[in-house]
Amino acid sequence: MDNPSKITEGAMEYSLGEFDGNSVFYDFEKILIYLNAKGRMLFGRQFRIYDEDLVIIRKLCHYFIKDLENCKKHDIDPDKGILLSGPVGCGKTTLMKLLRHIAPTQRPYDIIPCRNITFSFNHLGFKTIEDYGNTKSFCFDDLGIEHPGRFYGKNLNVMGEVLLSRYELYIQSKHKIKTHATTNLSADELEKQYGNRVRSRMRELFNLVAFDKGAEDKRI
């Protein structure tokens, strides 16, 4: 039987905890060792995990490994997706690219910049809305900073429509098909961008996990 507490990367095997034959008992310190190693593979030798991000990373790990007890403690619904918010450059996209690797047996998600979806709409029209309302899982990156879409002279709040489609999919699939997103915007700014109806649906789609407003820009 495969041991789900271990992940192999090339010639290296990393342990995320202990497996008793039925359940994995995860060890956060071991997960961090793996995340540091995987981060360097994905993003280069300069990658490192910052001590000030450990609270956020721990919450996200609870979510991705489906630690139901700790999810409940942090008011995280494992059936919903993640909306990871925080200032520019604090590492939101990096974490969403990285943390999906600690649970390789779960449904994978593609990370798509929201501006790419708007560009697609400008060329393909409503087929784009259909494409992102399908049964795949996505993480929409930089939600809220994209421009309105325009197709044949008509403007459309493309991501607003995509989120409404994702909500319908979420309900129809009985909460099995998740949507994730990253954003620099506050809840009020998102409501201003997409309207009250979409904001209401977002509350049902997402768990909000937020960096501190003073989180440093790690790209400097």
1 falls in which pLDDT band (50, 70, 90)? very low
- Residue 146 resides in a domain: yes
Percent of the chain with pLDDT over 90: 81
**Domain extent for 81:** 77-210
- Residue 66 resides in a domain: no
Higher pLDDT, 174 or 31: 31
The predicted structure's pLDDT at residue 152 = 86
Burial class from Cβ neighbours inside 10 Å (0-12, 13-18, 19+) for residue 217 reads exposed
Q: Token pair of 90, please?
A: 């604090």
Residue 139 — left, alpha, or beta (φ > 0 → left; ψ -120 to 50 → alpha)?
beta
Give the chain's domain count: 1
Q: Are 85 and 112 in contact (CB under 8 A)?
A: no
- Residue 23 resides in a domain: no
Q: Are 65 and 103 in contact (CB under 8 A)?
A: yes
Q: Are 147 and 115 in contact (CB under 8 A)?
A: yes
- Residue 13 resides in a domain: no
Q: Against a cut of 0.85, is the pTM above it?
A: yes
Choose among 156, 178, 157, 158: nearest CA to 167. Answer: 178
Q: Report the alpha-carbon distance of residue 57 to residue 133 in Å, rounded.
A: 28
- Residue 114 resides in a domain: yes
CATH of the domain at 164: 3.40.50.300
The predicted structure's pLDDT at residue 220 = 61
- Residue 67 resides in a domain: no
Is pLDDT at 65 greater than 50 in this prediction? yes
- Residue 14 resides in a domain: no
- Residue 187 resides in a domain: yes
Is pLDDT at 175 greater than 80 in this prediction? no
Is pLDDT at 180 greater than 50 in this prediction? yes
Q: Are 170 and 179 in contact (CB under 8 A)?
A: yes
